[in-house]
């Protein structure tokens, strides 16, 4: 029995000392023949590190500009703001005056003492006048703000003159009658005349203040709302020379007491509200084609004046009337644009302009010289057309 306990004790002592016996043979460093493990990361520099060795921080673009209202305003964007200037020239020609007989040809050389009847052959008619183009400067200055613009534009055209002349000694008869004292001529100044010249003079100017709206997301129309002032002046003068080609003085000059000029002048000053639209397409990056249309409706301060002056300066009458009326006008433009630079364009186009319900010169002529104001016709119309070209600068 004692042997069993002694054996068990020796077994326990043996088991208890075995780890200690193994541990005393474990080296503190690997054996000399075993290699170091391969490093898997760059060598660390013992701290602290200098600012030059520190990794770079965030860039300056993470800040909020001063002109942005807030960091969380997702719908905010900066509006486009520019100034633009257009400089160019424009021309307009008046349509020929309507059919309006002025003189007939005496079929023979016999003197007549009564105003002629309106029978053929009519030798002078206002429709024979062919107005020429009147040229002048045009310009625009505007402010572009995001999707809208405000602009001031206009043009001024030079005065033009067109006339027709008939010279048939002793055979030209006009329709004037009841002349004032001093205009009798030689057996009626306006019968059996030698020369008749009819002249039409025209002068135009325009100014507009408009607002424009357009869409930036897609190409579409530009809507135009504004106000327009249009100034139209014209006069028709009929000069009659009775025996100026047959009888002259010793200096070769005609008798001025047998000459007279009848003049009808109109001046339309229209101030009107205006609506319009402009549309253009771009077939390529350097070319655009488009058209614009505008209409204006407003008040017209119209003046109509009449005068009769003899060749030596004697005034038979010089009178007129002033009245206010409603008038309207329409303006259509077709154009093409060349995009020369990012902020420089050249636009060339052709304009058609139509004035309605206005007094025009040839319709005011009254052949009864005893009552120059009794004839009144204010519902006329006149049509103009012509080219324009301008350079457009964006600043």
pLDDT of residue 33: 55
What is the dihedral angle through the alpha carbons of 349, 219, 285, 287, rounded to the nearest 10 degrees?
-10
Q: For residue 221, which phi and psi values (nearest 5 degrees)?
A: -75, 155
| pLDDT tens over the chain, length 395 residues | 555 555 555 555 555 544 444 444 444 455 555 555 555 555 565 667 777 677 776 666 666 666 555 555 555 556 678 999 999 999 999 999 988 899 988 876 655 555 555 455 777 888 899 999 999 999 999 999 888 999 999 999 999 999 999 998 888 989 999 999 989 887 789 988 999 999 999 999 999 999 999 876 656 799 999 999 999 999 999 999 998 787 777 777 888 999 999 999 999 999 999 999 999 998 998 999 999 999 999 999 999 999 999 999 999 999 999 999 999 999 999 999 999 998 999 999 999 999 999 999 999 999 999 988 887 888 999 999 999 999 999 99
pLDDT at 42: 55
CB 268 within 8 Å of CB 359? yes
Taking alpha carbons only, the member of 234, 230, 167, 237 closest to residue 203 is 234
Q: What's the pLDDT score for residue 111?
A: 54
* pLDDT score recorded for residue 18: 46
- Secondary structure (DSSP) of 201-242: EEEEEEEEEEEEE--SSS--PEEEEEEEEEEEEEEEEEEEES
What integer pLDDT is reported at residue 247 of this predicted model?
77
Q: Where are the beta strands (DSSP E) in the chain?
A: 81-94, 101-105, 122-125, 134-145, 148-156, 160-174, 193-213, 222-241, 259-284, 287-310, 315-341, 344-358, 380-394
How many other C-beta atoms lie within 10 A of the C-beta of residue 154? 17
Q: What pTM does this model have? A: 0.76
The DSSP result for 77-120, as a single string, is: -PPPEEEEEEEEEEEEEEPPPPP-EEEEE-SSS----SPPPS-S
Dist CA 363 CA 377 (whole Å): 6
Cα–Cα distance between 238 and 365 in angstroms, integer? Answer: 10
Q: How many residues belong to the chain?
A: 395
Residue 19 host element (H or E) = helix 2-23
Q: Is the peptide bond before 180 cis (omega within 30 degrees of 0)?
A: no
């Amino acid at each position: 029995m004692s042997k069993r306990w002694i054996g068990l004790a020796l077994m326990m002592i043996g088991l208890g000392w075995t780890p200690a016996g193994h541990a005393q043979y474990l080296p503190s460093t690997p054996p000399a023949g075993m290699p170091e493990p391969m490093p898997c990361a760059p060598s660390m520099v013992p701290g602290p590190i200098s600012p030059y060795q520190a990794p770079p921080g965030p860039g300056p673009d993470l800040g909020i500009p001063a002109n942005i209202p807030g960091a969380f305003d997702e719908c905010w964007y900066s509006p486009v703001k520019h100034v633009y200037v257009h400089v160019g020239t424009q021309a307009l020609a008046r349509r020929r005056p309507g059919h309006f007989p002025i003189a007939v040809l005496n079929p023979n050389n016999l003197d007549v003492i009564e105003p002629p009847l309106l029978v053929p052959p009519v030798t002078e008619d206002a429709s024979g006048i062919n107005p020429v183009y009147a040229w002048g400067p045009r310009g625009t200055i505007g402010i572009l703000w995001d999707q809208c613009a405000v602009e001031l534009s206009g043009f001024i055209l030079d005065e033009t003159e067109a006339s027709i002349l008939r010279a048939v000694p002793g055979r030209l008869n006009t329709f004037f009658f009841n002349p004032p004292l001093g205009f009798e001529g030689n057996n009626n100044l306006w019968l059996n005349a030698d020369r008749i010249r009819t002249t039409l003079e025209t002068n135009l100017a325009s100014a507009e203040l408009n607002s424009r709206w357009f869409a930036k997301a897609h190409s579409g129309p530009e809507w135009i709302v504004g106000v327009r002032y249009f100034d139209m002046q014209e006069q028709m003068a009929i000069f009659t020379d009775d025996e100026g080609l047959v009888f002259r003085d010793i200096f070769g000059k005609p008798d001025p007491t047998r000459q007279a000029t009848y003049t009808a002048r109109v001046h339309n000053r229209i101030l009107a509200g205006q609506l319009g639209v402009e549309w253009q397409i771009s077939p390529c990056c350097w070319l655009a084609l488009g058209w614009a249309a505008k209409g204006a409706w407003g008040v017209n301060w119209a003046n109509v004046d009449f005068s009769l002056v003899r060749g030596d300066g004697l005034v038979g009458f010089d009178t007129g009337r002033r009245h206010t009326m409603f008038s309207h006008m329409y303006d259509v433009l077709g154009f093409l644009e060349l995009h020369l630079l990012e902020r420089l364009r050249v636009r060339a186009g052709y304009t058609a302009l139509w004035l309605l319900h206005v007094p025009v010169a040839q319709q005011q002529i009254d052949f009864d010289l005893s009552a120059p104001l009794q004839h009144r016709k204010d519902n006329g119309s006149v049509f103009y057309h012509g080219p324009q070209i301008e350079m457009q600068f964006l600043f």
